[in-house]
Amino acid sequence: MRIVAHAKINWVLDITGERDDGYHLMDMLMQPITLADTVRLTDADAISLTISGNPDLPCDASNLAWRAAELLQPYADRPRGVDIVLEKVIPSGAGLGGGSTDAAAVLLGLNHLWGLSLPMETLEKLALSLGADVPFFLSSGLCRVQGIGEDVRPLSRGPKWPLVIIQPCSGLSTKEIFTAYAASDQAIHPDIDSMEQILLSEDLSILPIHPGNVLEQVSCAARSEIGQAAGFLVRNGAICAQMSGSGSAVFGVFENSRAADAAAVAAKERWEKVFVCTTCDEALQMHG
């Protein structure tokens, strides 16, 4: 079985509070993009994991894809294993959900491959135990995501907007960025309700230059290249540009593919990791 596992962008990311257990309460607008990994699943006697495209990622039980398979084993009517092959394209430590989408792909794929017939509600609960972004990837289109990631509300399938994504520096630790945010007292909270209406209107001309990511300030303090890349995209024709997730990738939205291609050519003269893609509907696409 082959699953195309798409990355995501955060149009808006806000933190609205913190639970007693330390988990942050989020309010986000998220959408899948065509930048994607490929996940291949083959029945086996035990779980194994092979990764191409990123030699720095672990191929053991610390990987979210492996953990996703382990979570489904108790639901099988007999001992089951799987050979997982990840063909990585989505950069790690980028805020694009690469590990989360791979994990969601394993959950969805094994539910079919092993004939488990688990309802989506069960898969979503298992997904949440793997990480706040994982449930989103079991949904589709533009979504508003709240709570600790468990409240996913699809809003629209939306148009296909051209994007240029740059990872201008080394990856960032989500945990370290949230710790830095908690220690900061200068957070700028975005107007997420207004941004939701703008995106639903599908009018690119009224997009703000920076839609709003409450973590961007602390991430830029850790990696000044993030702000530099966002500024570069705006100067090269992006209607808006900002960091996705907790970084370190930034995305720029363009009026058409020609403008995006031109900006990407210019960006590649300065940065190695530059991707041209579009927003899309489906986070996961299963084949065979």
The enclosing domain of 30 has a CATH number of 3.30.230.10
Within a domain: residue 287? no
The answer to whether residue 133 is catalytic is yes
pLDDT at 232 over 90: yes
Q: Are residues 230 and 215 in the same domain?
A: yes
How much is the average pLDDT of 221-228? 93
Q: Where residue 205 falls among pLDDT bands split at 50, 70, 90? A: confident
The one catalytic residue in 8, 27, 37, 102 is 8
Q: For residue 175, indicate whether it is catalytic.
A: no
151 and 198 fall within a common domain: no
Within this chain, do residues 131 and 225 fall inside the same structural domain, yes or no? Answer: no
Taking residues 44-62, report their average pLDDT. Answer: 97
Total domain count, the chain? 2
pLDDT at 187 over 90: no
Question: pLDDT tier at 225 (50, 70, 90 boundaries)?
Answer: very high
pLDDT of residue 163: 98
What pTM does this model have?
Answer: 0.96
Question: By three-state DSSP, how is residue 275 classified?
Answer: strand
User: What band does 22 get if pLDDT is binned at 50, 70 and 90?
Assistant: confident
Q: Are residues 244 and 140 in the same domain?
A: no
pLDDT given at position 287: 92
Q: How many residues does the chain have?
A: 288
Contact yes or no for 37/277 (Cβ under 8 A)? no
- Asked if 144 and 211 sit in the same domain, the reply is no
pLDDT, greater one: 202 or 104: 104
On whether the CB atoms of residues 103 and 134 are closer than 8 A, the answer is: yes
Res. 16: pLDDT tops 80: yes
* Euclidean distance between the first and the last CA atom of the chain, given in angstroms as a whole number: 5
Query: Considering 156, 174, 206, which residue would you say is the last residue of a domain?
Result: 156
At 115, is the pLDDT very low, low, confident or very high (cuts 50, 70, 90)?
Answer: very high
Residue 133 lies in a domain: yes
Same domain (yes/no): 10, 136: yes
Long-range contacts of 49-52 (CB under 8 A, 24+ apart): 49/84, 49/85, 49/86, 50/83, 50/84, 50/85, 50/86, 51/85, 51/86, 51/88, 52/85, 52/86, 52/87, 52/88
- Regarding whether 131 and 198 lie in a shared domain, the answer is no
Q: Which of 28-42, 61-75, 174-188, 231-245 has the lowest mean pLDDT?
A: 174-188
The predicted model gives 57-75 an average pLDDT of 98
Domain range for residue 186? 162-278
Q: Which of 27, 83, 133, 175 does the annotation list as catalytic?
A: 133
Q: Looking at the domain assignment, is residue 286 inside a domain?
A: no
**Do 209 and 129 share a domain, yes or no?**
no
Chosen domain end from 156, 181, 203:
156
CA 118 to chain centre: 24
